[in-house]
């Protein structure tokens, strides 16, 4: 049985209609997104002969005036649309919602943020791939229980960054994009980076 990692497409083998893509779309470009209502991290990562590199990274942070849930979601959707329009990707990697018995409200609120992110991608025909945090850690370090500093060091090394990506929301977005690169390369036989 095939492992299904994808959220908006059945698997890696299903190809999107090339006519639906923007002429500026870079097929191997990945936008990694670490969703949140207060801070959402994003990283635009592309392959190169030397390996993957970060084209753009940052955070989407609603202002204090966006206090209502609807306002925060509208702001997140609008700003992410801007990122996707400026850097049309071949795919979007997103952290899967995880729930903890002590904090069910957090999972519900995170699902709202993920919903507008998936909507922004879907309206542009961008496939969305969801990854559990343990899968990201295992893909980047070989251990699904790797501590945060080990993940950050792996990101810094692989992306050839001079320092650790900050804030942690950006680091998590970079990790998601790198995970998708590795999974895609292993699953579809994409060229090495």
DSSP string for 104-150: HHHHHHHHHHHHHHHHHHHTTT--EEEE-HHHHHHHHHS-TT--HHH
Condensed to tens digits (0 to 9), the pLDDT of residues 77-109 reads 999 999 999 999 999 999 987 766 677 888 888
Q: Give the C-alpha separation, 134 to 126, whole Å.
A: 24
Whole-model pTM: value is 0.84
Burial of 112 (0-12, 13-18, 19+ CB in 10 A): middle
In this structure, the number of other CB atoms found within 10 A of the CB of residue 133 comes to 16
Q: Give the C-alpha separation, 192 to 182, whole Å.
A: 9
34 catalytic? Reply is yes
95 catalytic? Reply is yes
Mapped onto helix, strand or coil, the DSSP state of residue 186 is: helix
182 near 46, Cβ under 8 Å?
no
The one catalytic residue in 28, 46, 79, 169 is 169
Is pLDDT of 190 > 80?
A: no
17 catalytic? Reply is no
* Cis peptide leading into residue 191 (ω within 30°): no
129 near 90, Cβ under 8 Å?
no
Mean pLDDT value of segment 133-161: 93
The one catalytic residue in 34, 46, 79, 158 is 34
Sorting pLDDT into bands at 50, 70 and 90, what band is 22? Answer: low
Domains along the sequence of the chain with CATH:
26-188 (3.30.420.10)
Q: CA dihedral in degrees (146, 147, 148, 150; nearest 10)?
A: -70
Q: Give the C-alpha separation, 119 to 13, whole Å.
A: 22
Q: Sign of torsion, CA 85 91 93 97?
A: positive
Condensed to tens digits (0 to 9), the pLDDT of residues 166-185 reads 899 999 999 999 999 989 77
């Amino acid at each position: 049985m095939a492992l299904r990692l994808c959220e908006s497409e059945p698997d890696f083998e299903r190809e999107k209609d090339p006519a639906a893509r923007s002429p500026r779309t870079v097929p191997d470009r990945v936008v990694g997104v670490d969703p949140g209502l207060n801070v959402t991290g994003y990283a635009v990562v592309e392959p190169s002969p030397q390996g993957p590199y970060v084209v753009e990274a940052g955070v989407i942070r609603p202002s204090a005036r966006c206090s209502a849930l609807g306002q925060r979601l509208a702001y997140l959707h609008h700003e992410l649309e801007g990122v996707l329009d400026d850097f049309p990707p071949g795919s979007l990697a997103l952290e899967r919602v995880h729930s903890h018995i002590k904090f069910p409200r957090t999972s519900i609120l995170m699902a709202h943020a993920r919903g507008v992110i998936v909507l922004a991608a879907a309206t542009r025909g961008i496939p969305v791939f969801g990854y559990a945090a343990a899968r990201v850690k295992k893909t980047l370090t070989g251990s699904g229980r790797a501590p945060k500093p080990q993940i950050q060091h792996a990101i810094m090394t692989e992306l050839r960054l001079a320092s650790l990506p900050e804030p942690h929301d950006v680091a998590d977005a970079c990790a998601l994009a790198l995970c998708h690169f590795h999974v895609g390369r292993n699953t579809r036989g994409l060229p090495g980076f």
